[in-house]
Structure 1
Amino acid sequence: MHIEKKHLLNYSILLPYLILSILGLIIIYSTTSATLIDFGLNPFASMINQGVFWIISLIAILFIYRLKLNFLKNSRVVNAAIFVEVILLIVARFFTQEVNGAHGWIVIGPMSFQPAEYLKLLIVWYLAFHFSRRQKSIAVYDYQALTRRRWWPREAQDFKDWRMVSLLLIGLVAAQPDLGNAAIIVLTVLIMITVSGIGYRWFSAIFLSITVASALFLGLIGVVGVETMAKVPVFGYVAKRFSAFYNPFNDVTDSGHQLAHSYYAMSNGSWFGLGLGNSIEKRGYLPEATTDFVFSIVMEEFGMIGACLILSLVFFLVLRIILVGVKAKNPFNAMMAIGIGGMMLMQIFVNIGGISGLIPSTGVTFPFFSQGGNSLLVLSVAIAVVLNIDANEKRAEIIEEAEREAAKVEVEDL
């Protein structure tokens, strides 16, 4: 039975993606045009650049949607992707110029990209590939099936220990230092472990461990002091953000500048906002208004009600993605979809938590709205993978139902 994929497209995922992408282009124009005009540049320049990446993203979605999923389950392809990612992370850390106190961007002519952005999706793919091949062992040995090599299937034995590879990748990102993306990747890894098929009690243990470790770490900083912790290698770059986390108004001109002006932006917006393009804080008051703190500007221009509507659409998209994974019968498909949804959810949590002061600011972008073609491309590829998974699951279900009906007819004819 041949069923064309175009008839199986999940519009409850595609349409929110398209709406958010278009709205993101409008937000990027709103947050960048004033500054570009001040410098005598084309006010549409940033939006056009983002639009080019969006067109590339749409082409990528079309290509990946038509791709056979067996390609993603090929160990050689997974190995090659991880190997290339490790090389790119090493190049980004040790052979690139420092930008805002960190390495991480590889510049090739007029183009630049951030390997850590792509790792967020790669780590989901890598772990879904590994864990899906150990379902029989997990069903018998639970969590131990993930940690003891003698219970791994033969096809997974040739691949390096997923724990060591994950730690290596996370360490390379943290060493840049890019603690925001490192935190998202760590949380994504924990989500993947949780949905691998192990007992639910492990989720409680992992969640409790993260909560306790975070509380102890923040308590340690509070007792020792940010100035002392700033002397620790790597941590010195983010020390000011922890200082702002405790009280941004202690030093509004330096460490607390961003978070304080983020509060001002949200306060200016009130319930209904100042209107599209009317933000005050984006005019040089709030640093990173086009990237890390873009949602503060969204709240200033659209108000609390508008921001809540946008967040509702984003969460609807994430939940639809996770639902694809929940319904999937194939373990690899299920883990990929849930992992992608979890990765997006963690990015939203870290960004909103940072701009609102719930957690220390980490420099993480907001999906779709922050300026940056790399982030949009990664999100688009992730959406394409989920659409492909959903279509394949639907096709398998239709074929299975047709076979059952055919078997029923044969029995009745007898």
Structure 2
Amino acid sequence: MNKVKQLYKHFDYPLFLTYIILALFGLLMVYSSSMIQGLNKFDDSTYYFSKQLKHVLLAIPLFFVVAAIPHQHYKDKKVMVVMVIAMIASLFSVLVFGFGKEEVGSKSWIRTPIGNFQPSEFAKIIIILYFSSFFAKKNEKGTLEQFNKSVGPPLFILGFVAGLVMLETDVGATLIIVFVAMTVIMASGLSLKSFLRMIVAMFVVIIPMVALLLLFKSNTILTDGRQGRLKAFMDPFKYPEGSGLQIINSFLAIGSGGITGLGLGQSVQKLGYLPEPHTDMIFAVISEELGIFGTTIVLGGIGFIVFRAFSIGLKTKSPQARMLTFGLGSLFGIQTVLNIGGLTSVIPLTGVTLPFISYGGTSFILLSLALGILMNVSMFVKKELSDKGV
């Protein structure tokens, strides 16, 4: 308990304040963007807001609990074995036992007594913890550059997990899992030569698995909706009444918002033109209603978290802490790029949520846990530097 108190003396207030601002702003925009949806589906304009508020009120205490757990515990072999098994079991439960529901083209949810749970969100964090733990131990033993000993287990786990998530046809989550794993490897301290070999080996493992999935599960993965998204990415105006409608309405929302926005609650596109405007398309509503002011809050807040994560990683001497911060920072950054890139047609739509802003209990809670881990590392690094008189 005394160690926890000493650690909390180095609490990262800017990081926590950014988290709270994003959470409150997200609540406000979930309410604004979901009013019509709530009235039409549940005769309650506050339906989605009320549920998201419960998610936030649950997530904040969990954030503090996780922030108090020393990140070094994640190097414990027993802890990581339990986490990896739990991750794989939960992903299997969606596919094998069928406890999922079709949602936005992917079957990635499990119904539980306390609500719906999305295992792929869980997998994003576990992959970061596992890769950081694995390569930190290799670093300590001095075997990091011994390629044959370093490449096997993590790439097998990554390929297996990516394959399971791809079978759910959750392409966005698959991309995030692969890219955050690459970021952790990049921060591991490997030489450039070994890093490039690792990346090549990663794709040697993953590409055949994807090819097999496409060969045997092409109808499941390349659905009409997903093919439509690819066509809409190339030219949404060619399919104005079909697959391009969502992106076109997103363009209209962002364009009509301009610099100042139409005003809070005044979005036109949320009135049935944008499907599910409170989830992965919420940034378009923010742009329409609040203009540059609203988008600056979102991009500035998430950008600060990413910057903070990377700056913490550059200060620490601990390989595990460095890999955790770079992995967690990339998680927030990559997910934001995929979300906003999709609705602006820079990349195809993937359906991933906007961190701390979009409606979604699993996403908000697990990203809060991720931020709690980052907070613990931040406090550890600040204490480390303080003890050294820096």
TM more than 0.5: yes
Q: Which one is further off, 132-141 or 7-16?
A: 132-141
Q: Indicate how the Cα distance of structure 1 residues 40 and 292 shifts in structure 2: closer, same or farther if over 3 A, else same.
A: closer
Task: Tell me the equivalent position of 2:221.
Answer: 234
Q: Does 1:120 align with 2:124?
A: yes
Across the aligned residues of Structure 1 and Structure 2, the Cα RMSD in angstroms comes to 2.6
Percent of pairs identical after alignment? 27
Q: 1:296: how far off?
A: 0.8
309 and 62 in structure 1: CA distance in 2 versus 1, 3 angstrom threshold: closer
What pairs with 1:279-318 in structure 2 (closer than 5 Å)? 279-318=267-306
The 5-angstrom pairing of residues 3-402 of structure 1 reads: 4-39=6-41, 41-94=43-96, 95-96=98-99, 97-109=101-113, 111-135=115-139, 141=145, 146-147=150-151, 161-200=153-192, 233-236=220-223, 237-401=225-389
- 1:278 offset after TM fit, Å? 0.6
Take 2:200 and 2:286, find their aligned partners in 1: how far apart are those partners? Answer: 34
Q: Are the equivalent residues in 2 in contact too, given 1:138–1:144 (CA < 8 A)?
A: no
Q: Is the contact made by 2:335 and 2:353 (CA closer than 8 Å) also made in structure 1?
A: yes
- The offset of 1:323, in angstroms, is 1.2
Aligned-residue offset at 1:143: 5.1
Alpha-carbon shift at residue 362 of structure 1 (Å): 0.7
Change in Cα spacing, 1:231 to 1:58, as seen in structure 2 (3 Å) is closer
Deviations 1:202-243 (A, max 9, x none): 667889999xxxxxxxxxxxxxxxxxxx96551225211101
Alignment size in residue pairs: 372
Unaligned runs of 5+ in 2: 203-216
Partners of 1:287 and 1:278 lie apart in 2 by 17
Q: What whole-Å deviation, never above 9, does each CA across 1:341-375 have from its counterpart, x for those lacking one?
A: 01111101111110110111111111111100111
How far did residue 263 of structure 1 move?
A: 0.9
CA contact under 8 A between 1:138 and 1:145: conserved in structure 2? no
Q: 1:186 to 1:177 in 2, by over 3 A?
A: same
Distance 1:165 1:117 in 2: 16
Tell me the distance in 2 between the aligned counterparts of 1:207 and 1:31.
41
Write out per-residue CA displacement over residues 150-195 of structure 1, whole angstroms, 9 at most, x where no aligned residue. Answer: xxxxxxxxxxx11111111010001101001101111111111111
Q: TM-score, normalised by structure 1?
A: 0.83
- Name the aligned partner's letter for residue 156 of structure 2: M
Amino acid at match of 2:102: E
Task: Provide TM-score, normalisation by structure 2.
Answer: 0.88
Identify unmatched segments of 5+ residues in structure 1.
Answer: 149-160, 211-229, 403-414
Note the C-alpha offset of 1:382. 0.9
Instruction: Report the 3-state secondary structure (helix = DSSP H, G, I; strand = E; otherwise coil) of the residue aligned with 1:292.
Output: coil
Relative to 1, partners in 2 of residues 1:300 and 1:142: Cα closer, same or farther, differing over 3 Å? farther
The answer as to whether partners of 1:143 and 1:198 remain within 8 angstroms in 2 is: no
Distance 2:68 2:187 in 1: 27
**Cα distance per residue 1:376-402 (max 9 Å; x no partner):** 111111111111112122223333449
- 2 CA distance for matches of 1:265 and 1:258? 11
What is the rounded CA distance, in whole Å, between the counterparts of 1:7 and 1:378 in structure 2? 25
Aligned residue for 1:306, secondary structure, equals helix
Inter-partner Cα distance in structure 2 for 1:71 and 1:322 = 21
Aligned residue in 2 for 1:220:
none
Deviation at 1:54, TM superposition (A): 1.0
Partner-residue secondary structure (3-state), 2:102? coil
Q: How far apart, CA to CA, are the structure 1 residues paired with 2:69 and 2:360?
A: 26
CA distance 1:40–1:173, change in 2 (3 Å) = closer
CA distance in 1, matches of 2:258, 2:359: 24
Deviation of residue 98 (structure 1)? 2.9
Q: In structure 2, what is the equivalent of residue 219 of structure 1?
A: none
Whichever of the two has the greater Rg, that structure is: 1
CA distance in 2, matches of 1:83, 1:394: 33
SS of the residue aligned with 2:347? coil
Deviations 1:47-80 (A, max 9, x none): 1211111111111112122223342221111111
Deviation at 1:134, TM superposition (A): 1.0
Counterpart residue identity of residue 132, structure 1:
A
Cα distance, 1:117 vs. partner?
0.8
Which one is further off, 259-268 or 38-47? 38-47
